[in-house]
Amino acid sequence: MKATESTRAAEPDLDLAVIGAGLAGLTGALRAAELGLRVAVFEAGREHKYPANTRYSGGVFHVAFEDIHAPPALLEEALLAATGGFAEPALVRALAEDAGRAVDWLAGHGALFGRGGPLAFMGCMLQPFSLREPGLANHWPERGADRLLAELERRIERQGGVVVRGARGRRLCMADGVCQGVEVEFADGTRQVQPAAAVLLADGGFQGNPALVERHLSPRPEALCARGAGSGRGDGLLMAEAAGAWLRHLDRFYGHVQAAEALTDDALWPYPILDLVASVAVVVNGSGRRFTDEGLGGVSLANAIAAQADPLSTFVIMDEPIWERVGREFLLPPNPTLEERGVRIHRAPTVERLAAQLGMPADVLARTLADHNAAAVTGRGASLAPPRTARTSTLGRPPAMITTAPFMAIRLCAGITYTMGGVAIDAHGRVLDRHARAIPGLFAAGSTSAGLEGGPLSGYVGGLAKALVFGLRAGEQVARERRAG
Q: How far is Cα 258 from Cα 263, in angstroms, rounded to an integer?
A: 8
Instruction: Tell me the C-alpha distance between 459 and 259, whole Å.
Output: 22
Backbone angles phi, psi at 72, to 5 degrees: -55, -35
Helix spans in 221-265 (H): 235-242
Identify the DSSP state of 224. S
- Cα–chain center distance at 185: 26
Segments in 50-143 forming alpha helices (H):
53-56, 72-83, 89-107
pLDDT in tens, 183-241: 999 999 999 999 999 999 999 999 999 999 999 999 999 999 999 999 999 999 999 99
Domains, in order of start, for the chain:
16-212+226-248+420-484 (3.50.50.60), 254-416 (3.90.700.10)
| The pLDDT of residue 12 | 63
The DSSP secondary-structure symbol of 4 reads B
Angle between helices 463-484 and 89-107 (to 10 degrees): 90
Residue 11's pLDDT is 60
- Identify which of 185, 251, 258, 189 has the alpha carbon closest to the alpha carbon of residue 214: 251
Q: What is the pLDDT of residue 184?
A: 98
User: For the whole prediction, is pTM greater than 0.85?
Assistant: yes
Mean pLDDT of the chain: 96
Strands in 82-205 per DSSP E: 113-114, 125-126, 162-165, 167-175, 178-186, 191-195, 199-201
Rg (CA), the chain: 23
Residue 1: predicted pLDDT: 43
Q: Are strands 125-126 and 113-114 parallel, antiparallel or unpaired?
A: antiparallel
Q: Strand (E) positions, 374-437?
A: 407-419, 422-424, 430-432
Which residues lie across from 162 on neighbouring strands? Answer: 40
Question: Residue 338 is inside which H or E element, if any?
Answer: helix 334-340
Whole-number Å distance between alpha carbons of 255 and 281: 19
> Among 88, 64, 168, 41, which residue's Cα sits nearest to residue 424?
88
Percent of the chain as helix, strand, coil, to the nearest 5: 40, 20, 40
CB of 257 within 8 A of CB of 269? Answer: no
Residues 167, 45 contacting (CB under 8 angstroms): no
Residues ≥6 apart with Cβ < 8 Å to 364: 287, 288, 289, 355
**How far apart are the C-alpha atoms of 388 and 366, rounded to whole Å?**
17
* 8 A C-beta contact, residue 396 and residue 297: yes
Please give the Cα distance from 137 to 139 (Å, whole number).
6
Q: What is the DSSP string of 446-480?
A: GGGEESSSBTTTTB---HHHHHHHHHHHHHHHHHH
pLDDT reported for residue 160? 98
Provide the pLDDT for residue 2: 45
How many CB atoms are closer than 10 A to CB 46? 14
Residues 6+ apart with CB under 8 A from 235: 19, 44, 168, 169, 170, 203
pLDDT of residue 308: 98
Ranges under pLDDT 50 in the chain: 1-7
